[in-house]
Structure 1
Amino acid sequence: MTLSPQFLDEVRARTSLSTLIGRSVKLQKAGREWKACCPFHKEKTPSFTINDEKGFYHCFGCGAHGDAIRYLTDARGLPFMEAVKELADAVGLEVPAPDPRAQQKAERAAGLYDVTEAAQRWFVEQLGSIEGAAAREYLKRRGIKDATIARFGFGFAPDSRGKLKSALQDCGIERLIETGLLIDPEGEREPYDRFRGRLMIPIRDQRGRVIAFGGRILGDGEPKYLNSPETPLFDKGRTLYNLDRAAPASRNSRRVVVVEGYLDVIALDQAGIGEAVAPLGTALTEGQLERLWRLAPAPILCFDGDAAGQKAAVRAAHRALPHVGPGRSLGFVTLPAGQDPDDLVRSQGRAAFEALLEAPEPLVDRLWRHESSAEPLDTPEARAGLKRRLFELAATIADSDVREQYRMELLQRFDALTRPQRQGGERPAFQRGAFQGGGRFAPGRFQNGRFQIPRPVSEQAKAVASAGLDPRWLRAVLAGLVRHPQVIAGHAEAVAALPIGDPASLRLRDILLSAALIHGELDHERLNTILTEEGAAPLAEALRQERGLAFSFTRRDADPERAHRDLVLVIDTLAAQPGLCSALEAATERLKETGDEAAFQEQQRLRKARDEAEKQLAALIEGDAGSRQEQGV
């Protein structure tokens, strides 16, 4: 019987997983989840968790993971349909009547397992025959031991068009064709054996049943590897080679490793790494990723170190990105150039491969490395192209929380890579963040989803920062940022450097900064949504409505271009004040101590800069700023 995904989802949604498991396992409440000692392995400290909201259980000790249906099949050994029926009865759902066509297909598939098992036994017999000598010699050259040959069921297909057909004629020609063992040509030609002159490797489903074959040619010829075609038993896009063995091994190792081919899997297993699987001649699919995530939260992809292998890794990263979420990611291992896992373990042993697996490259790092090195970033257009690609990648992630974290992380890396540099690698002061003693900025950083502002490092600067901006200027700047949020992203570090003492105003500033750094250039609609979510909308609205702020950027009818220009000028000037005052006080102290001409000149220069900044701010008050602008001052 075939049940629709919609029906199965309804069964899962109506089932209380904690109630189901709690019938036989003692549970402890742990926040929004439940904890217990794992029913799948012996333990004294609970590492088995149940999440009713998400509908799954997970053991951090052995890796057991699944939903309500999986629990009944694994813990109680029920067949799938019996598990579904029991759950459906418990929640008042009626299992749909079987679709005759689906039932017929399932019954036909059940009969085909006998055919593939018979073919497997025949291929194994041929490997031990005289004709199988070349295949045995090949396995010996590859260092594959007899125990490994038996465990993985290696066989041999003689170089003949009809030997398998004759040997398995009792299975029926139609069924041999349906399992892909025979090719049925068009016209009047007779069906003939698909696999000829090849080392044969059986492909099994998760229950260990033979469903298809892979054949490696022993001499010259193409293709090097030949897989069975898709059949009622074999869905290439949902099958992973060695999944039946890797699944239990992954519970002990708490990881699963994805390599490119059969022999890589087999070489790793022989070296003691049994949790390896391989896709079957195709790029990693969504269906295969889903199966991998049931085994481990971050499967490790280990493709060959050549260009083709690295392209396959990037394709897998792009394929996985829309589906990542908490507990669902990927790791990547890059092998030495020209080597595959089989080469590495044969030449350097298991320890060399284990060393690579100890520190896999996270998914975000692989994506960033690929995109940032795709082309030179020596033009504005190239840098803009990189930024767009990064944001487009992040936008494909379905999980909103993870999507926001990726945008934030990639924006930080982009900013660090592309921010303008001065001679000697020093950036302009207004781009470097909060002033340090001597007039240099200290950059802000993200932490826990917020932009964290470093405190001034000199005592003089600390005094200015603790006192904060004059309340009038503070309200004016915040009102300007709320009215003109598109300014924030381009001047984030100067905004971050503003000395703000009032806690409510400081929180509003940090919300504005975080929003701009996560989402890029803000519009009013997006900003209002964020302010409402953060509980800061009342303060922002009060600033918009305040009428005692006589600046171009606080007026509703102001020219937008002029308002933006004046607001940026005020922000840059106010952000510079703590460092300027700190430097001036330091110069004054040096003058008192030394009395030399250099100290005096430095003090006068800094005092003049401070006075000019104050005049510049005064000139921006509404009216005075307009008249001075008209006079060309």
Structure 2
Amino acid sequence: MALPPAFLDELRVRTPLHGLIGRRTRLARNGRQWKGCCPFHNEKTPSFYVYDDHFHCFGCGAHGDAITFLMRAEGATFPEAVERLAAETGMQVPKPTPQAAARERRARDLHGVLAAAEAAYRRRLFLPEGRPALDYLRRRGLSDETIARFGLGWSGEGRGALAAELKSDGIEPPQLVAAGLMKQRDPDRPEAGQGAQYSDMFFGRVMFPIRDRRGRTISFGGRILGDGQPKYVNGPETELFRKRQGLYGLDLAREGAFRGAPVLVVEGYMDVIALHQAGFAGAVAPLGTALTSEQLELLWQLSPEPVLCFDGDAAGARAAARAAETALPLLTAERSLKLAALSGGEDPDTLLQKGGPRAFQPVLDGARTLSAALFDLLAEGRPRQTPEQRAALRGRLEEAARAIPDRVLSGEYRRTLLDRFWEETRRAAPGPGRRGGGAPWAGRPAAFRIMARPAVDSDAIRRERARNLLAILVRHPLLLPEVEEALMSLDLPAGEAEGLRAAMLAWLGTAEPLDSAALTGHLAQCGMGNAVTWATRATGLCAAAQPTAQPKEALDGWWHFFGLLRGEADLVQDLADAQRQLTETYDPAAQQRLIRLKRALDALRRGETESDPDEAAEGEPGEGPQASRASTIG
């Protein structure tokens, strides 16, 4: 028995093709696709391209999908390739039962039924009875070419008209019921009447064919003319149609994405059509549901970072928040989302009608990454005046970051969200003591007035932490051999910090002895004198960077600042690597590194939970409790 096409389509969607092929040949990203040397013939210049759903070699002509690749690369039979891919994606291969065979025949029949219905609806649109619908589409700015491309039609007003028209093609009402075009009436209802067993799903509506990724019609959506309700309806779920597993406009968006168009997710059918007509060929829309995990997987097949562009009203904001919540458990370092904001209750269709493509392009250009937009989505409508309210928001932010399975990515999101949280909560906010935006505690003695706290400059804080870390090494270069590997792993601010690190590591390979005077002299000869002055200036310098600090005091202080700069997620990974290295080598140096990393991680976590991690921003950067404690950590 041949396998159901719907099963094979889903199997291909669930299989990341570049990951499968990347096991046999090295691939590098090349724009929206991947490129490498062909695994099927010897070549030195890469001519093998991997796209979202197929591969092609411009050298030998090899072409196919995931199933074809396994058959060619490993000599697997078709059933063997399907079984292997199904096992990897967690799918169950349908068994060859008589019932499955019957479903397959029905599916083939249903595609034919739906194609015949689409042709009937399209014909009616250009008949006198369809004139109001055609006028409506043209008033919405659609050209005849766009109407034809999307297969738009008219259902007709008369009940039973579709069944009567398709009867000559040998299509019976039970087939139309199975295709989602008619429904069977309850025979016990009085209005059913003699011979009225079936009724149309659509009448008096503009018809929008819903197609699968291969361009085959699998259902319809219908829009009523005028102000009736519901304005839009979709066909019911059938053997071909699952609302959660499809996207309107997917077949055309695949082609657009292949040609370089950004992939856009909007809310309505007319938004999709208007965007395609305006040249934004990657637009799709969910099928009357919130964006689902299955739909996100389809989107990531087209683009690693599709753009969500929901309407600029409260409902659109809620839809964006739900989509972000659905996406978080599915994020990886290679796939995410962007969010574009529409304002003033606009939607893409109305915006394009008013100003054309030039009016929509700034919306697309202004799309923010999910990491940048997530705070606003989670904090929307949540007060932050009291400690309890701020604690609740912080818990919500941390919960969102924990939803990301990728540990490193989760840590990065947590840091980004909490950085924004500290920045927001430091701003003066209206509280019980304020009225009309006036100064708090007005009328009280000056000694009891609260001074407004300045906004946190995260970049300045990071520069000061890097300055203290490097100053410790300038004053105590004996630490360099022990911390060399850790120092190289840090992402330091550009400029003096990066320059000092490079110069010190270069000096370490030839230096003898390792003393501060020799290092300072070397740095001056290298043109790094100003950088040394910057690093060792007295303002904000921790005790561990003083020349009088004891070696243990300096080393503990260095690992303290290392932990702050490295971040929790990276420290956790460093700790795991150090543990593995110690298990493999039993090297005392590896044991010391493990101990230092553990202390740095513990110190970082204590700083996050027992005090404000950005206290240093209160005065001169680097002058806070964190800096003064550096000499005692460990």
- Alpha carbons 1:18, 1:34 under 8 Å: kept: no
1:299-343 alpha-carbon deviations (Å, 9 max, x no partner): 011111011011101111111111111221111111121211011
Q: Which residue of 2 aligns with 1:461?
A: 538
In structure 2, the CA distance between the partners of 1:541 and 1:194, relative to structure 1 (3 Å rule), is: closer
Take 2:541 and 2:15, find their aligned partners in 1: how far apart are those partners?
A: 63
- Between the aligned partners of 2:212 and 2:543, the Cα distance in structure 1 is 67
Amino acid at match of 1:147: E
Secondary structure at the counterpart of residue 263 of structure 1: helix
Q: Judge conservation of contact 1:183–1:193 (CA < 8 Å) in 2.
A: yes
| TM-score where L is the length of structure 1 | 0.66
Secondary structure at 2:302 match in 1: coil
Question: Which residue, 333, 336, 341 being the options, matches 2:343?
Answer: 336
Shift of 1:261: 0.8
**Matched ranges for 1:280-359 at <5 A:** 280-359=287-366
Distance 1:38 1:89 in 2: 16
Confirm or deny that 1:104 pairs with 2:155: no
Number of the residue aligned with 1:410: 417
Cα 1:449–1:286, aligned 2, differ >3 Å: closer, same or farther? farther
Q: Deviations over 1:99-127 (max 9, x none)?
A: 44333322210111110011011111111
Q: Give, in whole Å, the separation in 1 of the partners of 2:320 and 2:153.
A: 31
Hey, what's the Cα distance between the residues in 1 that align with 2:65 and 2:107? Answer: 17
2:21 to 17, 33, 47: 17
Structure 2 counterpart of 1:404, which letter? G
* Residue 140 to residue 373, structure 1, CA distance change in 2 (3 Å): closer
Structure with the greater alpha carbon radius of gyration: 1
1:65 shift after superposition: 2.4
Stretch moving more, 534-543 or 189-198: 534-543
After the TM superposition, which residues 51-450 of structure 1 pair with which residues of structure 2 at under 5 Å, given as runs? 57=50, 64-66=51-53, 89-90=75-76, 93=80, 98-169=96-167, 170-187=170-187, 189=192, 190-419=197-426, 423-426=451-454
> For the structure 1 residues 320 and 576, does the alpha-carbon distance in structure 2 shift closer, same or farther, using more than 3 Å as the test?
closer
Q: Which residue of 1 aligns with 2:500?
A: none
Deviations 1:46-67 (A, max 9, x none): 6977xxxxxxx4xxxxxx3247
Quick one: percent identity of the two aligned structures?
Answer: 35
For residues 403-425 of structure 1, give each alpha carbon's deviation from its aligned partner in whole angstroms, at most 9, with x where no partner exists: 11111211222222234886143
When the two structures are superposed, what TM-score results if normalisation uses the length of structure 2? 0.66
Contact 2:204 2:224 in 1 (8 A): yes
Rounded Cα–Cα distance in structure 2 between residues aligned with 1:319 and 1:142 = 33
1:257–1:277: 8 Å Cα contact kept in structure 2? yes
Q: Is the 8 A contact 1:157 1:198 kept in 2?
A: yes
Secondary structure of the corresponding residue to residue 168 of structure 1: helix
Instruction: Determine the C-alpha separation between the residues in 2 that align with 1:617 and 1:259.
Output: 51
The count of residues paired between Structure 1 and Structure 2 equals 495
Asked whether the 8 Å contact 2:263–2:306 carries over to 1, the reply is yes
Distance 1:234 1:80, change over 3 A: farther
CA distance, structure 2, for counterparts of residue 277 and residue 348 of structure 1: 21
Q: C-alpha separation between the residues in 1 aligned to 2:334 and 2:253? A: 20
**Which of 582, 585, 591 does residue 538 from structure 1 map onto?**
591
CA contact (8 A) 1:204 1:241 kept: yes
| RMSD over equivalenced CA pairs, Å | 5.0
Distance across 1 between alignment mates of 2:548 and 2:109: 83
- CA distance 1:208–1:38, shift in 2 (3 Å): farther
- Report the CA distance shift for 1:34/1:202 in structure 2 as closer, same or farther (over 3 A): closer
Matched, 1:509 2:545: no
Matches within 5 A, 1:520-531: none
**1:88 Cα deviation after fit:** 6.9
Deviation at 1:215, TM superposition (A): 0.6
Indicate if the aligned counterparts of 1:435 and 1:579 stay in contact, CA closer than 8 A. no
Alpha-carbon spacing, 1:361–1:271, altered in 2? closer, same or farther (3 Å): same
Q: Deviations over 1:233-280 (max 9, x none)?
A: 111111111111111111223420111111111111111222111111
Q: Is the 1:144–1:267 Cα contact (8 Å) retained in structure 2?
A: yes
> Greater CA deviation, 214-223 or 117-126?
214-223
Name the amino acid aligned to 2:453.
G
Q: Give the whole-Å Cα distance in 1 for the aligned partners of 2:146 and 2:236.
A: 26
Q: Which moved more, 1:374-383 or 1:89-98?
A: 89-98
**Aligned-partner residue type, residue 90 of structure 1:** A
State the one-letter code of the partner of 1:132: G
Shift of 1:373: 3.7
1:80 positional shift: 8.3
SS in 1 for 2:158: coil
**Cα displacement (A) at 1:450:** 5.5
> What CA deviation, in whole Å up to 9, does each residue of 1:485-536 have, x standing for no partner?
xxxxxxxxxxxxxxx4x5xx56522343357x5379x9xx999758647988
Write the letter of the residue equivalent to 2:421: F
- The alpha-carbon distance between structure 1 residues 325 and 105, as it changes in their structure 2 partners (threshold 3 A), is same
Distance in 1, Cα, partners of 2:544 & 2:354: 66
Q: Report how far residue 427 of structure 1 moved.
A: 8.7
Matched, 1:518 2:568: yes
Contact 2:12 2:65 in 1 (8 A): no
Structure 1 residue aligned with 2:509: none
Q: Return the letter of the residue paired with 1:317.
A: A
What SS does structure 2 have at the residue aligned with 1:335? coil
- The more displaced of 455-464 and 173-182 is 455-464
Cα-to-partner distance string for 1:56-108 (whole Å, 9 max, x where unaligned): x4xxxxxx32477x999xx8666887777666743894757634433332221
Gaps of 5+ in 2: 84-92, 429-449, 465-487, 498-530, 583-588, 598-605
1: CA distance between counterparts of 2:63 and 2:334? 27
CA displacement 1:457-483 (0-9 Å, x = unmatched):
59651897698247776636xxxxxxx
CA distance in 2, matches of 1:543, 1:139: 69
Residue 216 of structure 1 aligns to a residue in which SS?
A: strand
Q: Counterparts of 1:353 and 1:120 in 2: how far apart (Å)? A: 31
Q: Distance in 1 between matches of 2:236 and 2:37?
A: 44
Number of the residue aligned with 1:439: none
Asked if the contact 2:542–2:630 (Cα under 8 Å) also holds between the matched residues in 1, the reply is no
Describe the shift of the 1:133–1:13 C-alpha distance in structure 2 as closer, same or farther (beyond 3 A).
closer
Asked if structure 2 preserves the Cα contact closer than 8 Å seen for 1:528 and 1:537, the reply is no
